[in-house]
Structure 1
Amino acid sequence: MDDLCHAALRADDRSYFSLLKKEVHARALAAGFSERRTGEVDIVVAELLSNLAKHAEGGQLLVKSIHDGDRPGIELIALDQGPGMTDVGRMMADGMSTKNTLGHGLGSMKRLSDLLQVYSQKDWGTLTLARLFNEKPPTHPMPPVEIRALVLPKPGETECGDSFFCRQDEDFIRLFLGDGLGHGPEAALAVQAAGAAFLECPSNDPVAIIRHVHAEVRKTRGLVGTAALFDRRTKLWQLCGVGNIATRLLSGGVSKNYMSYNGIIGHNLPRTLNAHAVPGEKGQHLVLCSDGIRSRWDLLRHPTLLRYDGSLLAAALYKDFGRMTDDMSVLCCKLNS
């Protein structure tokens, strides 16, 4: 089972690097990695931390256990506020260095990772995404839908009141992003109860799903949340939200917001709820954000970011617009066909 949240590890002090390496090493072993593959994870982590220290004077390393079928994996995202790169492709080549080193870092990470993507802008910083699996996953055709999420607890908290849930079959994709009121253990209980209710609800109507979740979480402190359903046959989105979950569809260079209803799931719902029905199209991104991400986010500075894996899109929003005073979550769903 994938971790519900990423762990955010500070990487702005070299004296902590050995502890960070041990943390990721332990996570890889706990996920079921072999000793050999864990050693390769160690090399990738060392290179990521080395780049943060040499080129950006520190940053963050986000870590999460993932799976591809029954293959355990680990996702690493390095973020920094450094000077950035103007030509990432050139810097990926072996022997390229701006710090009088051998210049093998990015190349070795690419060879050891099952996926490596680097997004960078001059004077903005760099995001590096690496995914490694214990066994090399089979080569899949591009999936028709790509779903990625970044969920982080409020700094200093061990439990997260934000979470996302997904249920798919051959006809529908069902998504739910919830944010328990406040933060900490009680908020986490509320959002996990909502997730359980969402996953057991048989309806393919987001309004009915919201009402079902509302009825099931009355004994919790409550939450805000958005349910999104995509009908694979009709290529139609249905969206319904209550509370301050930002919902946005990005398509063809156009960004459109969809308003949620006022209320608190589990305490007070409007008598009338209706779903937005929106046609889906190839290349479209649905992005849901909790209020831990400032609501006025935009991607004007990042016109090419939508070409990358959705985890980098989520990480960029966290990097630029994360409040750091609350739990934070971003859910991205891209239609590839």
Structure 2
Amino acid sequence: MTRVWDIPVHDSTRVRDVRVATEAAGAHARLDGHRTAVAALVATELATNLLKHAGGGRLVIQLVGHPDPGAPGHAVQLVALDHGPGIPDVAAALRDGFTTSDASLGAGLGTCRRVSSTFDLYSGPRGTVSVARIGQDPDRPSTRPAFLTGGVNVPLARGEHSGDDWSSVRAGSRLTLLLADGLGHGPKAAEASGAAVEELRRVGHLAPAEILRHLHPALRPTRGAAVAVAQLDTEAGELEFAGVGNIGARLHSDGAWDHLVSHPGIVGAQFPATVPVRRLPWRPDSLLVLHSDGLPSRWVPPEDPGLLTRDPAVIAATVLRDASSAASPVRDDTCVAVLASGPPLGRP
């Protein structure tokens, strides 16, 4: 079941709330004391930056898994979002020890980047989004995978559990991204989406339509869910997409955005007789966004080339931040997941 801590940071008392929540997340992820303290340090620094440089924001804390089947452990993912003025000089801000605030812990974004398992950010005129992941193993590979996935998941009204979930698995040359939206919201919806994620670990080697068919009996004991599956054959350069229920999907390729449409139905309750599959070429600039219906239907895809090269979780969080407004309040759990080519520019 997806546990999320979504904490508004608009005064100094919330910085302590962020630290306590991060320590709880570290315990859920089974990090040792040192790595939990590292996560708490990074979270505290990000929260302090929200107050001092952006006039406030929010920090979303959750656990993320490893896309390789059988890989052990989880990481704590910290997502800081704001609508501040942006960072004038990102390169300077990412230098180790750089700080402009007397209230800072002296760690700075450079130290946050160094001690995190992965770290990336995007800053522009609409604000800044930072994503840090802290796992048990602080060592990072010398090279990044050629294809990456990432996402962010936010429960309705800052509830403890989101009825949405996402995951990805690798099987040979196939990289599969799944997003599930359990019917309704809260713990019962989370059981349905969680069952879909768990089953994906066992059937990720299958084609998307077959994955959905295997998910149907696995979700029968639950409320059921809308589920979309996108699978990239990294050797053939081809993307297959299939969905059942109201999951949104947009593919950026060759400089344009294309809608990918799911088929009506409910996995676990009302499965369609046939599941249409769409096959498309995957180009060097291709990027796929999957999202639940918590995201406003008329959200505008990002066009900034600088954003489209960031860590997929940064892209997902920016989409989530920029799609919401006072005129279009969120009325459901919201999950956004991204599949992208190439290593992010944030760090090797």
TM tier, shorter chain? Answer: 0.7 to 0.9
Partner-residue secondary structure (3-state), 2:157: coil
Q: List aligned pairs for 1:110-149, cutoff 5 A.
A: 110-122=113-125, 124-149=126-151
Q: 1:275 aligns with which of 263, 274, 277?
A: 277
* Residue correspondence of structure 1 range 146-295 to structure 2 within 5 A: 146-201=148-203, 204-295=206-297
The SS at the match of 1:13 is: coil
Which of structures 1 and 2 has the bigger CA Rg?
1
Provide the aligned C-alpha RMSD in A.
2.9
Q: Tell me by how many angstroms 1:152 deviates.
A: 2.0
Offset of 1:170 from its aligned partner? 1.0
Q: In the TM superposition, what is the alpha-carbon distance from 1:36 to its structure 2 partner?
A: 4.2
| Identity between Structure 1 and Structure 2 (%) | 31
Q: For residues 291 and 207 of structure 1, what CA distance do their matches in structure 2 show?
A: 21
Change (3 A) 1:80 1:50: same
Long gaps (5+) in structure 2? 344-348
> 1:97: Cα distance to partner?
5.9
C-alpha separation between the residues in 1 aligned to 2:174 and 2:9?
40
Q: Is the 8 A contact 2:253 2:282 kept in 1?
A: no
Contact 1:149 / 1:314 at 8 angstroms: preserved in 2? yes
Matched, 1:107 2:110: yes
Deviation at 1:70, TM superposition (A): 4.7
Cα–Cα, structure 1 residues 268 and 14, in superposed 2: closer, same or farther, change >3 Å?
same
Deviations 1:18-53 (A, max 9, x none): 232122134335544444444443332232122111
Q: How does 1:24-103 map to 2 (within 5 A)?
A: 24-29=22-27, 31-66=29-64, 70=72, 73-93=75-95
Equivalents in 1 of 2:25, 2:251: separation in Å? Answer: 35
Residue 325 to residue 96, structure 1, CA distance change in 2 (3 Å): same
Q: Which has the larger displacement, 219-228 or 145-154?
A: 219-228
User: 65-74 or 273-282, which moves further after superposition?
Assistant: 65-74
Contact 2:5 2:21 in 1 (8 A): no
Which string of whole-angstrom CA distances, capped at 9 and with x for unpartnered residues, describes residues 170-224 of structure 1?
Answer: 1322332111111122222322333444444477332233233234434433221
Distance 1:245 1:30, change over 3 A: closer
1:45-83 alpha-carbon deviations (Å, 9 max, x no partner): 232122111122211112233466557643222111212
AA of the residue aligned to 1:258: L
Cα distance in 2 between the residues matched to 1:33 and 1:207: 36
TM (norm. structure 2) is 0.83
- Change beyond 3 A, Cα 1:305–1:78: same
Pairwise CA distance, 1:148: 0.9
CA 114–231 in structure 1, closer or farther in 2 if over 3 Å, else same? closer
Further displaced range: 87-96 or 279-288: 87-96
Do the aligned partners of residues 162 and 139 (structure 1) sit closer, same or farther apart at CA in structure 2, a change above 3 Å counting?
same
Contact 1:170 1:232 in 2 (8 A): no
- Following the alignment from structure 1 to structure 2, what is the Cα–Cα distance between the partners of residues 197 and 93? 42
Q: CA, structure 1 residues 234+218, in 2 after alignment: closer, same or farther (shift >3 Å)?
A: same
Task: Say whether the 8 Å CA contact 1:54–1:99 is kept in structure 2.
Answer: yes
Instruction: Look up the SS of the partner of 2:85 in the other structure.
Output: coil
Conserved in 2, the CA contact under 8 Å of 1:165 and 1:176?
Answer: yes
User: What is the aligned partner in structure 2 of residue 325 from structure 1?
Assistant: 331
Partner AA of 2:179 in structure 1: L
**Correspondence 1:13 to 2:11:** yes
For structure 1, the residue ranges without an aligned partner over 5 or more in a row are: none
**1:334 aligned to 316, 337, 340, which one?**
340
Q: 1:224 to 1:143 in 2, by over 3 A?
A: same
Cα distance in 1 for partners of 2:269, 2:57 equals 40
For these two proteins, the number of residue pairs brought into alignment is 334
Aligned position for 2:21 = 23
